[in-house]
């Protein structure tokens, strides 16, 4: 007996408890109050050094599982407390002190313990099956599944009775009773699948119905109250139900759902939670941006690379049993895991390079299983352990002539605690701010920030959730000394400011603010679970300047873009030659004569400071703008040159023909500044450049042109629009009508008639003015386009006509009375020109591109005969002395084509006009 040692009995040594509860078999302590326990009797032979090594075990009431271990606490544990949600008549724990650290049911040396607080309901709510709340705006129908959630205190592990009532005028009606509803870890999650059966009890129902519940338990007298001062007994008010059955009604048994919460653990007796947090959210003006969410983990960096603890054990050659030198290592790991119930563990087992791969793989798996079984024997749940055998695929030491010791190093199992560690990169949050005189405040919420279970407690590396280290990197300066900010509950109050010190002296350094150097503010929110290295910040706030630029540009081109004509009077001809000379000079020197005015204004510090940079009116020659407007001017040349057409006299010798393209009067108002970007309409952590444009032009382009589609050079129309595609339909139509005319058309009879032949012309006439009136568009360079657009297009229409006719020489045969007659061909067309604009953002800046396309042309033709009347009646003549001899239609006389692309090909000049360039 002298060799025996251990604990015989423990006792309650202090703290609040209920002496009249527990029936003498269970100690009932007050919820949330620390209680002290100590060893009261020892086995004879237990030495003092043994007593210092006592381990305290907290087990479930039936002693099947170790819930928590308090290692190396000596004969006293002084801080055992039970939270209210874990209190309940049916939720007992067994506390014992032991030298072995293992459950031994043959010995009864401990105490049964439970907590007590008055049973009550803290909150209750209804939700759809997918978790979305049931509201007035989002009700269910009879037959829909619905979830009931209840948070309780003092009822852990109780079975409850839930009664559902219909709320109405007069007495409320009981529609259903749910028995045996489990309260697990203080929560009720009841999945109700029989609402269809409620419908039959809803007499005198209205369109919108309301339901609530009452709750009872056999250990509670009467209805269970809530925690409000008046103690309400009606809960979950109200479930909203439309008085309507779903199409596929079902009545299924209701089910108790186990509460699932990330980080929740039913062993949370002393709130021994792992050092960590679950969510980081920034409140920035009106935006709420989630930087980190444990449920949607998106840490950057090698988050699994290093672990807080990494141990290694070794094996004999061709063996898998746990050696004596390995057991203390596994015992230490087991103790740590029992004290840290959140930490999962990863095991990887290996062999040396001797033996066949298949055999070594099986051997490594046996070694992994041996280590797992040993940890399980120490009370560690198998669910927390991940194990894998790697055979000889991951040798620590490689080579052909290894020593015995080197082979042993390869025969190993590595045990790693899977905790996110120091390699996680900082969470970067970008914001816009005024300068140091108007600091911006940010509220950074650190949800569930707890360091009670810090693995580094008692060392300089211990983590702190009260004061947070802050380091400021101010532009062009040394880093400022570290300071600290005190947490306000779960909120980290941050003050930041941007670098605007030189905006008045060197304003154009800020012309493109996204490229300005930021002030950086580093916050060291470090825990064991995430961002464990205290020397590395977890949050980096980058403060950009809140400067806004407003730009106005007005341009009037002096000369026409293009001019042609024939059959003009002398005065008109001189004017045309003068204008043509100016246009020619512009083309030779590649510059445009223009008058223009520009203004630029900046605003910063929330608009409190402004500065205007304004020009006077100038008459200048702008080479920079030539590429854009010369391209527009060449549109006419592109069309006429490509068709090999020319302006011609169409039979009215006294009518001059003129082709003139009017210059634009262009106004561009633009502003750009930094703004929070959005993805799927949700604010994100990044900042983008917000660009807003207002463009007007009166006109953007005004023109009238007549282009001969046939002419004498009809056979050479190979360059017509879309590589000659339009010349063939025009030629076919021409030939079709010409054949009729060349054969001649007989009109009348033997008493009166004539026969005629004709020549035909078909001209395309485009006329009209394109005006842009306040076309507004905006975009953010980082957003996905859900709130703004990178490209915005508006269209307008130009008038397009076909003017066609024929020269007629009529001869009268078999004439009794001589008469004059002539033919006309009229045509109506369905065609248009589409105008638009596009603004494109590219890496080197923003450019503007006009859009001008011809939508194609269909033609209907009618040949009308008009004749003088003789004494003989002409058959089928209408009242206006006309009748239709021939008619028909021709599709795709001119197909669709891109005018801008056409003049780019002809002129070799790009129509892209760079508005803002990133130099």
pLDDT exceeds 60 at position 657 = no
Query: How distant is the alpha carbon of residue 473 from its chain centre?
Result: 30
- Strand ranges of the sheet holding 412-417, from the earlier edge strand across to the other edge: 310-314, 412-417, 345-349, 385-389
Closest among 539, 275, 524, 298 to 419, alpha carbons compared: 275
Of 776, 892, 768, residue with least CA distance to 833: 768
Cα–Cα distance measured from residue 622 to residue 630, given in angstroms and rounded to the nearest whole number: 11
Which is it for the CA torsion 94, 97, 100, 106, positive or negative? Answer: negative
Please, are residues 689 and 790 in contact by the beta-carbon 8 Å criterion? no
Counting DSSP H helices and E strands in the chain, the numbers are 9, 46
Higher-scoring residue by pLDDT: 852, 411 = 411
At 607, give phi and psi (nearest 5°). Answer: 80, 5
Residue 49 contacts residue 6 (beta carbons within 8 Å): no
Domain boundary among the residues 499, 517, 544 is at 544
* CA angle (288, 290, 292) in 5-degree steps: 160
Count of domains observed in the chain: 5
Radius of gyration of the chain (CA): 45
At residue 693, the pLDDT reads 73
Q: Are residues 146 and 248 in the same domain?
A: yes
What's the mean pLDDT in 827-844?
44
| Beta carbons within 8 Å of 885's beta carbon, 6+ residues apart | 745, 747, 863, 864, 865
B/e letters for 764-792, b = 16+ CB within 10 Å, e = fewer, are bebebebbbeebebbbbbbbeeebbebeb
| Whether residue 712 sits in one domain with residue 839 | yes
If pLDDT is split at 50, 70 and 90, which confidence band does 814 have?
very low
131 plus 197 within the same structural domain:
yes
CA atoms within 13 A on the CB side of 362: 4
Q: Which of 471-480, 549-558, 609-618 shows the lowest mean pLDDT across its residues?
A: 609-618
Residues 651 and 791 in one domain: yes
Residue-level pLDDT at 423: 43
Under 8 Å between Cβ of 164 and 122: no
DSSP 480: P
State yes or no: cis peptide before 350, omega within 30 of 0: no
Tell me: pLDDT of 806 over 80: no
296 — pLDDT class (breaks 50, 70, 90): low
**Across 31-45, 426-440, 885-899, least confident range:** 885-899
347-379 pLDDT per residue, tens? 889 999 999 999 999 999 999 999 988 988 887
Task: Tell me the β-bridge partners of 27.
Answer: 113
Q: Compute the average pLDDT of residues 447-457.
A: 79
Do 117 and 31 form a contact (C-beta atoms < 8 A)? Answer: yes
Is 425 a member of any domain?
Answer: no
Q: What is the mean pLDDT of residues 778-784?
A: 77
Least confident of 472-481, 555-564, 816-825: 816-825
Q: What is the pLDDT of residue 739?
A: 54
- The 3-state DSSP class for residue 785 equals coil
Residue partners of 789: CB distance under 8 A and separation at least 6:
777, 779
Do 724 and 870 reside in the same domain of the chain? yes
Beta strands 539-545 and 427-433: pairing type? Answer: parallel
Are 907 and 779 within one domain? yes
Under 8 Å between Cβ of 856 and 823? no
Distance CA 57, CA 63 (A): 10
Q: Tell me if residue 269 falls in helix, strand or coil.
A: coil
Q: Which one, of 538, 333, 537, 302, lies nearest residue 455 by Cα?
A: 333
Statement to judge: residues 827 and 900 lie in one domain: yes
Q: pLDDT tens across 196-236, in order?
A: 888 878 877 788 899 999 999 999 999 999 999 889 999 99
In angstroms, the CA 442 to CA 440 distance is 7
Length of the chain: 919
pLDDT at 304: 37
Spatial distance between the Cα atoms of 33 and 22, rounded to a whole number of angstroms? 17
Judgement on whether residues 250 and 391 belong to the same structural domain of the protein? no
Q: Are residues 75 and 166 in the same domain?
A: no
Domain CATH code at residue 13: 2.60.40
pLDDT at 490 over 60: yes
Contact 182, 152 (CB under 8 A): no
521, 544, 567 — which closes off a domain? Answer: 544
Residue 511 and residue 364 in one domain: no
Sign (positive or negative) of CA dihedral 198, 201, 207, 208: negative
Closest by CA position to 415, among listed 502, 501, 312, 513: 312
Span 136-148, mean pLDDT? Answer: 90
Q: What is the 3-state secondary structure (H, E, C) of 706-762?
A: EEECCCCCHHHCCCCHHHHCCHHHHHHHHHHHHHHHHHCEEEECCCCEEEEEEEEEE
- Residue 135 resides in a domain: yes
Confidence of residue 124 (pLDDT cuts 50, 70, 90): very high
- Using CA atoms, how far apart are residues 620 and 596, in angstroms rounded to an integer? 8
Whether the pLDDT of residue 414 is over 80: the answer is yes
Q: Which of 131-135, 301-305, 363-367, 541-545 has the lowest mean pLDDT?
A: 301-305
DSSP 542: E
Residue pair 94/61 in contact by the 8 Å Cβ criterion: yes
Beta-bridge mates of residue 666:
555, 697
CA proximity to 662, closest of 771, 747, 739, 572: 771
DSSP state of 575: H
Judge whether residue 617 has pLDDT over 80: no
Higher pLDDT, 786 or 492: 492
61 lies in some domain: yes
* pLDDT tens sequence across 66-92: 888 775 567 888 778 899 999 999 999
The pLDDT of residue 585 is above 60 = no
Query: What's the average model confidence in pLDDT over 99-127?
Result: 92
pLDDT at 174: 92
Report the first-to-last Cα separation within the chain, whole angstroms.
Answer: 90
Domain boundary, last residue among 544, 575, 600: 544
What would the mean pLDDT of 393-413 be, rounded to a whole number? Answer: 89
For position 443, what pLDDT does the model report?
A: 94
pLDDT value of position 349: 92
- Whether 194 is in a domain gets the answer yes
Cα three-residue angle 205-207-208, rounded to 5 degrees:
95
How many CA atoms does the CB half-sphere of 835 hold within 13 Å? 16
d(CA 653, CA 544): 70
Report residue 254: phi and psi, to 5°. Answer: -75, 160
Q: In this predicted model, which residue has the larger pLDDT, 533 or 462?
A: 462
Put residue 271 in one of left, alpha, beta given phi > 0 → left and psi -120 to 50 → alpha.
left
Helix (H) or strand (E) holding 363: helix 357-377
pLDDT of residue 39: 93
Q: Residue 831 domain-assigned?
A: yes
- Planar angle of CA 782, 784, 790, nearest 5 degrees: 80
- pLDDT confidence of residue 441: 93
CA–CA separation, 758 vs 737, rounded Å? 9
What is the average pLDDT value for the chain, to the nearest integer? 71
**10 Å Cβ neighbour count for 244?**
12
Beta bridge partners of 602: 549, 611
Highest mean pLDDT among 193-207, 657-671, 869-883 belongs to 193-207
Q: Which residues, in sequence order, are CB contacts of 475 under 8 Å at separation 6+?
A: 499, 517, 518, 519
Kindly list the distances between the CA atom of residue 789 and the CA atoms of 617, 779, 783, 874, in Å, as whole numbers in the listed order. Answer: 34, 5, 9, 66
Query: What range does the domain containing 314 cover?
Result: 310-417
Quickly state the pLDDT bin for 639 (edges 50, 70, 90).
Answer: very low
Residue 264 inside a domain? The answer is: no
pLDDT of residue 665: 67
Residues 443 and 498 in one domain: yes
Question: Cα dihedral sign for 411, 417, 422, 424?
Answer: positive
Specify whether the CB–CB gap between 268 and 83 falls below 8 A.
yes
pLDDT (average), residues 112-132: 93
In the prediction, which pLDDT does 697 show? 61
Would you give the DSSP letter of residue 450?
Answer: B
Q: What is the structure's pLDDT at 887?
A: 56
Asked whether residue 134 falls in the same domain as residue 108, the answer is no
Which tens digit of pLDDT belongs to each residue from 9-68? 999 999 999 999 988 899 999 998 989 999 999 999 899 888 888 888 999 998 988 888
Residue 381 has pLDDT above 80, yes or no: no
CB 595 within 8 A of CB 666: no
Pick the range with the lowest mean pLDDT from 123-132, 144-153, 427-436, 715-724: 715-724
Q: Tell me which residue of 534, 337, 529 sits closest to 451, measured CA to CA.
A: 529
In a domain, 583, yes or no: no
- How large is the average pLDDT for residues 110-116? 95
Determine, yes or no, domain membership for 823.
Answer: yes
Percent of the chain with pLDDT over 70: 58
* Residue range 675-699, pLDDT digits in tens: 988 887 888 888 888 887 776 666 5
**What b/e readout covers 25-54, taking b as 16+ CB neighbours within 10 angstroms?**
ebbbbbbbeebebbbeebeeebeeeebeeb
Who has greater pLDDT, 617 or 525?
Answer: 525
User: Phi and psi for 589 in degrees, rounded to 5?
Assistant: -95, 0
């Amino acid at each position: 007996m002298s060799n025996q040692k251990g604990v015989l009995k423990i006792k309650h040594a202090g703290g609040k408890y209920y002496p009249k509860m527990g029936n003498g078999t269970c100690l009932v302590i007050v919820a949330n109050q620390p209680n002290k326990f100590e060893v009261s009797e020892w086995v004879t032979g237990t030495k003092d050094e043994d007593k210092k090594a006592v381990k305290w075990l907290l087990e479930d009431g039936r002693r099947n599982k170790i819930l928590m271990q308090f290692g190396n606490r000596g004969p006293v544990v002084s801080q055992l407390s039970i939270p209210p949600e874990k209190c309940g008549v049916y939720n007992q724990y067994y506390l014992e002190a032991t030298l072995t650290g293992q459950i031994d049911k043959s010995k009864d040396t401990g105490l049964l313990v439970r907590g007590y607080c008055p049973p009550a309901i803290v909150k209750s709510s209804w939700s759809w099956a997918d978790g979305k709340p049931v509201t007035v705006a989002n009700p269910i129908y009879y037959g829909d599944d619905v979830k009931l959630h209840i948070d309780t205190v003092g009822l852990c592990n109780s079975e409850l009775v839930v009664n559902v009532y219909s709320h109405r005028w007069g007495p409320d009606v009981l529609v259903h009773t749910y028995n045996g509803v489990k309260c697990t870890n203080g929560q009720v999650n009841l999945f109700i699948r029989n609402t269809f059966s409620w419908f039959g009890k809803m007499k005198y129902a209205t369109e919108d119905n309301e339901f609530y519940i009452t709750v009872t338990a056999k250990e509670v007298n009467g209805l269970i109250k809530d925690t409000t001062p008046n103690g309400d007994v009606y809960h979950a008010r109200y479930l909203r139900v439309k008085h309507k059955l779903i199409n596929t009604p079902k009545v299924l048994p209701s089910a108790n759902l186990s509460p699932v919460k990330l980080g929740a653990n039913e062993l949370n007796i002393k709130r021994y939670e792992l050092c960590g947090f679950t969510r980081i959210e920034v409140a920035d003006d009106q935006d709420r941006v989630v930087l980190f969410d444990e449920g949607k983990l998106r840490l950057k960096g090698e988050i699994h690379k290093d672990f807080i603890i990494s141990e290694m054990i070794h094996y004999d050659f061709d063996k898998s049993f746990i050696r004596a030198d390995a057991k203390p290592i596994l015992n230490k790991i087991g103790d740590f895991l029992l004290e840290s119930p959140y930490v999962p563990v990863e095991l990887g087992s290996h062999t040396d390079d001797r033996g066949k791969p298949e055999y070594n793989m099986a051997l490594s798996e046996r070694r992994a299983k041996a280590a797992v079984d040993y940890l399980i024997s120490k009370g560690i749940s198998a669910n927390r352990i991940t194990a894998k055998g790697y055979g000889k695929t991951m040798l620590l030491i490689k080579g052909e002539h290894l020593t015995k010791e080197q082979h042993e190093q390869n025969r190993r199992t590595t045990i790693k605690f899977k905790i996110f560690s120091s390699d996680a990169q900082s969470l970067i949050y970008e914001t816009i701010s005024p300068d140091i005189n108007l600091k911006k405040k940010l509220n950074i919420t650190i949800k569930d920030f707890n360091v009670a279970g810090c693995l580094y407690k008692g060392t300089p590396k211990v983590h702190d959730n009260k004061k947070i280290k802050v380091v400021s990197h101010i532009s062009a300066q040394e880093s400022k000394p570290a300071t600290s900010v005190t947490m306000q509950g779960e909120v980290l109050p941050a003050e930041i400011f941007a670098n605007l010190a030189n905006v008045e002296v060197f304003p154009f350094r800020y012309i493109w603010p996204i490229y300005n150097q930021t002030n950086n503010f580093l916050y060291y929110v470090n825990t064991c679970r995430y961002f464990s290295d205290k020397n590395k910040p977890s949050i980096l706030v980058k403060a950009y300047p809140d400067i806004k630029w407003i730009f106005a540009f007005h341009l009037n081109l002096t000369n026409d873009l293009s001019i042609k004509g024939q059959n003009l009077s002398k005065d008109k001809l001189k004017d045309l030659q003068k204008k043509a000379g100016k246009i020619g000079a512009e083309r030779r020197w590649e510059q445009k004569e223009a008058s223009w005015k520009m203004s630029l204004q900046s605003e910063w510090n929330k608009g409190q400071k402004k500065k205007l940079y304004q020009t006077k009116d100038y008459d200048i020659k702008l080479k920079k703008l030539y590429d854009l407007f010369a391209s527009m001017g060449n549109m006419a040349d592109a069309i006429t040159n490509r068709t090999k057409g020319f302006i011609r006299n169409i039979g009215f010798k006294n009518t001059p023909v003129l082709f003139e393209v009017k210059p634009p009067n262009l106004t561009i108002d633009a502003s750009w500044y930094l703004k929070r970007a959005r993805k799927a309409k949700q604010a994100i952590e990044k900042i983008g450049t917000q660009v807003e444009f207002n463009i007007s032009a009166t006109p953007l382009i005004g023109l009238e042109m007549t282009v001969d589609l046939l002419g004498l050079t009809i056979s050479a129309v190979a360059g017509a629009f879309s590589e000659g595609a339009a010349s063939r339909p025009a030629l076919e139509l021409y030939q079709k009508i010409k054949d009729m005319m060349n054969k001649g058309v007989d009109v009348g009879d033997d008493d009166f008639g004539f026969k005629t032949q004709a020549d035909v012309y078909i001209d395309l006439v485009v006329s009209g003015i394109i005006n842009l009136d306040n076309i507004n568009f905006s975009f953010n360079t980082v957003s996905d386009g859900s709130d703004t657009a990178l490209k915005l297009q508006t269209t307008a229409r130009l008038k397009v006509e076909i003017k066609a006719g024929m020269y007629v020489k009529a001869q009268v045969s078999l004439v009794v009375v001589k008469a004059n007659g002539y033919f006309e061909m009229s045509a109506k067309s369905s065609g248009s020109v589409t105008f638009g604009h596009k603004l494109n953002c590219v890496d080197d800046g923003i450019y503007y591109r006009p859009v001008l396309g011809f939508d194609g042309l269909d033609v209907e033709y009618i040949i009308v005969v008009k004749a003088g009347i003789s004494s003989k009646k002409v058959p089928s003549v209408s009242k206006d002395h006309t009748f239709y001899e021939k008619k028909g239609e021709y599709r795709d006389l001119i197909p669709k084509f891109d005018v801008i692309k056409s003049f780019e090909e002809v002129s070799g000049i790009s129509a892209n006009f760079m508005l803002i360039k990133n130099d």
